A and B are shown apart, each in its own frame.
Chain A
Amino acid sequence: MVKVYTSCVIEAPAERVWARIRDFNALAQWTPFVADSRIEGGLPSDKVGCVRNFRLKDGGVIREQLLALSDYDYQCTYSILESPMGVENYVATLKLTPVTEGNRTFAEWWAEFDCAPGRERELARRIGEEVFQAAFDSLKALVR
């Protein structure tokens, strides 16, 4: 099991950041790498169990399922059903915590997954930096 953990501080109140990201179908609106996204089967995009089917700007297609969503905890958990990355049992959680000092947001994003032996480091780096951190950077600029 590989674990990845990325966190950052966003200079905006948690509810404003959450408003941007709670929509499970909104990746194209706040990450730099998603071209377009749809929810399969016409389900609402905040219904636990719904599947987002999105295309990356580099052409890859990923299907992810929403496992949990809490507006109270500003937190959502999802798994990967299909992806070109070569990961198995991938479960990730994105969580915001309000910082009382300065009305900012502490944002965390972590994932656990299995992969082919020897690819652990490369995948952990790619997911931690090129996915999570890159998305955080783009989110920071959007909510400023």
Chain B
Amino acid sequence: MIDAPIARVWEVLRDFNSHGAWHPAVGESQIEAGEAADRVGCVRSFFLKDGNHIREQLLALSDRDYSFTYCILEATLPMRRYVATVQLKRVTDGERTFWHWESTFEVPRDREREFADLVGRGVYEAGFEGLRAYLRRGPTGVRAAPALPPGEPLAGQAVVATAFGGPEVLEVRPVQAPAPGPGQVRIRQTAVGVNFIDVYIRRGEYRMIEPPAAIGMEAAGVVLDVGPGVAHLLPGDRVAYACPPPGAYATVRTLAADPVVVLPEDVAEETAAALMLKGLTAEYLLHRTHRVRAGDWVLVHAAAGGVGLLLCQWARALGARVIGTVSSEEKARVARAHGCEFPIVARGYRFAEEVRRVTDGQGVEVIYDGLGREAAAENLESLAIGGHWVAFGQASGAHERFPDLAAKSATLSRPVLFHFTAGRARLKEMAERMFGALRSGTIRVEIRHRYALVAAAEAHRDLEARRTIGPIVLLA
């Protein structure tokens, strides 16, 4: 299914030589003998990026039926009698196009599966993704690809933790982003999100780096180039990601392409950098780990924090009643303005009494707990019978042991974002729902704190001193 009118898709596909521009597996291609690329009988001669060479002949083409048929004349692959038909159909319900691509062919008997997979996925499905990416280039279909010498590393800057410790261990150092290998993408980054996990990693509490190493889990920017096998991205695409390994505090970066998503046109890179990690977290917390329903009582800790503000807004839009804990009156005002009906200014992790008062002694159906150890007993006390305690973070230290859940017939979840974002299909779903919520105004991203990338240490100081409200973005 292609999100474009049939005429637009056909305009590209009817050109028998266009696959070099949109198919990620196709390298150089040309029509033999200087014939027109829509003339029945013409032959295209092309190289796949894996080095194989193929000659294919156009057997039929119908502008009325939006369809064409072609066969392989010659190939360095053991395929015989390959005949394929492409057929487009209009989806009248929404301006989309149904693309049917079907073929029959012969290969050595024991290799049928291998080739069915190669053609079905490696050629057809990769082609669908490739054409989608191509059409996103805009009406001209011209790639805004920055010219890069192939295979060359690119120099940039990164913020590196030179040792485990305080913000002072962060230093700006020159780095090289290597040319992307198979499955990789190289991004010129324009905005980087700052999260508490960066602080844990810098301090050595989460052992995810060995100093000296760059830190940072999320960023947005523009694709410079992609390695072999990457179908969903093209040079010039505006993209964002939130994923391990750390290393996002950088002006250029080469990383695995799978966790990288293309940004909708209406989402600024700065917004994406501020939103990816926290927004995807809110998405799985509210829609996957626990499905929040209208009328539920929800307790959100650090309600004026990056994830907290998103949880308050989104849970409220789902019809839940939101109680939040914050550390100051000012943060209480911010949380209230974002859908938190009952902000509690909690000192020393004391909030259960207030939660029980607000809920008439019932407690809450679900707790979104990023506080960790210090708040454990109060959390259990705040929970309704049969409630769900979702411990997704540990600002006050890791849980050594959880209190007796039987006291509330409680369910405990200890979810990790990167498990949910690990599959491309699910990640795409999560990102679409998140950007949808942003577009509809269900969640708002208000960036009050911007720093230059080289001032990352300053950003960490402010974050750790709790001087910030909402997301922090470093601009490269």
Give CA–CA (A108, B92) in the complex, Å. 9
Q: Is the CB of A9 within 8 A of B91?
A: yes
Q: Which of A8, A97, A99, A101 contacts B93 (CB 8 A)?
A: A8
Q: Is A24 an interface residue (CB 8 A)?
A: no
Interface of chain A, main secondary structure: strand
For chain A residues 90-110, which have a beta carbon within 8 Å of chain B?
Answer: 97, 99-102, 104, 106, 108
Complex-state Cα separation, A3 to B82, whole angstroms: 35
Q: Is the CB of A133 within 8 A of B1?
A: no
Is B120's beta carbon under 8 Å from chain A?
yes
Contact B93 A9, beta carbon cutoff 8 Å: yes
Chain A's nearest CB lies how many Å from the CB of B368? Answer: 28
Evaluate contact between B1 and A8: CB separation under 8 angstroms.
Answer: no
Contact call A7/B1, Cβ cutoff below 8 A: no
A101 touches B1 (CB 8 A): yes
* Given A7-B98, A9-B1, A97-B98: A136 and B93 interface contact (C-beta under 8 Å): yes
* Inter-subunit contact B120/A100 (CB<8 Å): yes
Does more than half of chain B's interface fall in helix, strand or loop, or is it mixed?
mixed
- Within the complex, the shortest CB–CB distance from A128 to chain B, in Å, comes to 7
Interface residues of A in 1-60 (CB under 8 A from B): 5-9
Question: Which chain A positions have C-beta within 8 A of B91?
Answer: 7-9, 106
B25 to chain A, nearest CB (A): 16
Q: Do B92 and A6 have beta carbons less than 8 Å apart?
A: yes
Q: Are B120 and A7 in contact (CB under 8 A)?
A: no
Taking a contact as CB atoms under 8 Å apart, the answer to whether B89 and A106 are in contact is yes
A104 near B1 with CB under 8 A, answer: yes
How many angstroms from the CA of A7 to the CA of B100 in the assembled complex? 14
A99-B92 contact given A9-B1, A104-B1, CB 8 Å threshold: no
Contact A9 B96 (CB under 8 A): yes
On chain B, the residues within 8 Å of A97 by CB distance are 98, 100
Q: Which residue of A lies closest to B98 (CB)?
A: A106
Contact of B92 among A5, A101, A104 (CB under 8 A): A5
Residues of B within 8 A of A (CB): 1, 89-94, 96, 98, 100, 120, 125, 128, 425
A-B contact list, 21 entries, CB within 8 Å:
A6-B93, A7-B90, A7-B91, A8-B92, A8-B93, A8-B94, A9-B1, A9-B93, A9-B98, A97-B98, A97-B100, A100-B120, A101-B1, A101-B125, A101-B128, A102-B1, A106-B89, A106-B91, A106-B98, A108-B89, A136-B93
Interface residues of A (CB under 8 A from B): 5-9, 97, 99-102, 104, 106, 108, 128, 133, 136
Listed from nearest, the 4 A-B pairs whose CB atoms lie closest are: A8-B93, A106-B98, A6-B92, A7-B92
